[in-house]
Amino acid sequence: MSEQTEHLANAAQPDQGEKQFTITRVFDAPRELVWRAWTDPDEAPYWMHPHGLTTPREQVDFDVRPGGRYRYTMVTADGATYPTGGTYREVVEPARLVFTWGSPDDADEIMPVITIDLAEHGEDGRQTRMTFHLDGIAGVPGDDDVYDGWSEALDELDVHARDRSGGSAA
């Protein structure tokens, strides 16, 4: 993780008294590449899980359009599975993605909502500033729960994006 990304990750704070939190990261990769990581089912297995879990490609299905559904399953080393899914509410390529998030069997109206905003960053625009906002679950750094799980997944995305863009774009 770059020094700038580390600083932003550590500066993320939950909204006090609310069931929501925000994580901001800067990735050393162009916005289109980070967008693709969020929307291409072939990219998700590389990063869409916390450390120590995997997301098998055959367990990933994305229909990226408003009203489209997605599913993926994270797997632990001992074989426990965590099916995840939801519905895309807003898709504005390559800048904004809004979707429900939870168990694939949960009703969309009770699921938390994730908003991903992607902006070009840096003097040459070869970096991406991502704002990840989850509304519906409280989270704080060090919670060993949803916040930390997403933070670790975003660590994985950082490595994947740098690998895909050929290393540091700076």
pLDDT in tens, 13-26: 444 458 999 999 99
Nearest-CA neighbor of 160 among 30, 3, 46, 39? 46
Using one digit for the tens of pLDDT, what is the confidence trace for 22-78? Answer: 999 999 999 999 999 999 999 999 999 999 999 999 999 999 999 999 999 999 999
Domains of the chain as residue ranges with CATH: 3-40+91-164 (3.30.530.20)
Q: Which pTM was predicted?
A: 0.87
Closest CA to 139 of 12, 49, 53, 50: 12
Cα–Cα distance between 76 and 49 in angstroms, integer? 10
Look at residue 143 and give its three-state secondary structure: coil
